[in-house]
């Protein structure tokens, strides 16, 4: 695995076996957000769409919610940047979602898998979080370190540096051949109310618990929980 780590609008429901032009719909926006598509940057607005290959960025003091065809939701916090790589829902109910969080905060509430072979992956420079129906957050910091917290379900978090580094071509030094690596050394299963840190160097820490009390003053968490519960949130 390489080092890669979107509330319906009114009553509208996205449909189709694979979304072409609009892979995700803007279902909530406060502040400003922009979309870069095919090299052209434009402002996002309620009801706007984001397609695979687009880069999405939020302004300061802004929050953006994107909804997928299967009602899975991804939200971005202020000053966040994400590249949507894949977002499809096939006729057999399988979803395929992949995005890279370049910077900032992401919250995902993933709808239960309906069938088929599904994946939902959020990547950063130093980690990848893969889920099968859950609620979690990913924070990608300026120093490249990453925090993954799980609120429901489970997330498999893998570090990006699990494979041996290759010597630079100009050094001409001999390096050891490939060796089998224990999966547990580079991937951790993070369960409900657990978190894991990935260092700026890409080192995967051990999962540890966190409490609801520790989240009580976090406005980002409170807003997302209100949205998830259908209570709105501004």
Distance between CA atoms of 113 and 63, rounded to whole angstroms? Answer: 26
Q: Cβ distance 120 to 131 under 8 Å?
A: yes
Strand partners, 154: 191
pLDDT of residue 232: 66
Q: How many CB atoms lie within 10 A of CB 50?
A: 27
Percent of the residues in the chain that have a pLDDT greater than 70, as a whole number? 74
- Between 103 and 118, name the one with better pLDDT: 103
Distance between CA atoms of 187 and 129, rounded to whole angstroms? Answer: 10
Average of per-residue pLDDT across 108-129 = 83
Burial class (CB within 10 angstroms; exposed 0-12, middle 13-18, buried 19+) of 9? middle
Which residues have C-beta within 8 Å of that of residue 231, sequence separation ≥ 6?
A: none
pLDDT digits (tens, 9 = 90+) for 158-184: 987 654 332 233 333 343 444 344 444
- How distant is the alpha carbon of residue 162 from its chain centre? 20
Q: What is the largest CA-CA distance in the chain?
A: 62
Reference 138, options 112, 106, 161; nearest CA is 106
Label residue 132 by pLDDT band (50, 70, 90). low
Q: How many CB atoms lie within 10 A of CB 122?
A: 28
Reference 50, options 41, 37, 63; nearest CA is 37
pLDDT of residue 133: 66
pTM for the model? 0.80
Distance between CA atoms of 75 and 47, rounded to whole angstroms? Answer: 15
pLDDT digits (tens, 9 = 90+) for 16-60: 334 444 589 999 999 999 999 989 999 999 999 999 999 999 999
Distance between CA atoms of 88 and 22, rounded to whole angstroms? Answer: 10
Q: Which domains are delineated in the chain?
A: 24-162+184-228 (2.60.120.1440)
Average of per-residue pLDDT across 215-230 = 91
Which residues have C-beta within 8 Å of that of residue 38, sequence separation ≥ 6?
A: 53
């Amino acid at each position: 695995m390489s080092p890669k780590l979107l509330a319906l609008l009114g009553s509208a429901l996205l449909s189709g076996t694979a979304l072409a032009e609009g892979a995700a719909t803007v279902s909530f926006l406060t502040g400003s957000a922009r979309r870069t598509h095919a090299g052209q940057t434009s402002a996002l607005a309620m009801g706007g769409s984001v397609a695979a290959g687009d880069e999405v960025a939020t302004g300061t003091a802004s929050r953006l919610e994107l909804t997928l065809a299967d009602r899975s939701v991804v939200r971005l916090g202020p000053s966040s940047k994400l590249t949507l790589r894949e977002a499809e829902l096939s006729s057999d109910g399988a979803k395929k979602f992949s995005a890279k969080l370049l910077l900032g905060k992401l919250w995902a509430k993933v709808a239960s898998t309906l069938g088929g072979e599904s994946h939902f992956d959020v990547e950063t420079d130093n980690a990848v979080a893969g889920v099968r129906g859950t609620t979690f957050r990913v924070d990608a910091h300026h120093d490249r370190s990453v925090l993954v917290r799980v609120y429901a379900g489970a997330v498999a978090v893998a570090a990006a540096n699990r494979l041996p580094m290759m010597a630079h071509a100009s050094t001409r030094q001999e390096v050891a051949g490939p060796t089998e690596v224990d999966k547990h050394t580079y991937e951790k299963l993070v369960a409900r109310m657990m978190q894991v840190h990935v260092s700026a160097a890409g080192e995967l820490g051990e999962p540890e618990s966190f409490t609801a009390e520790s989240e009580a003053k976090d406005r980002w968490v409170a807003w997302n929980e209100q949205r998830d519960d259908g209570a709105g949130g501004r």
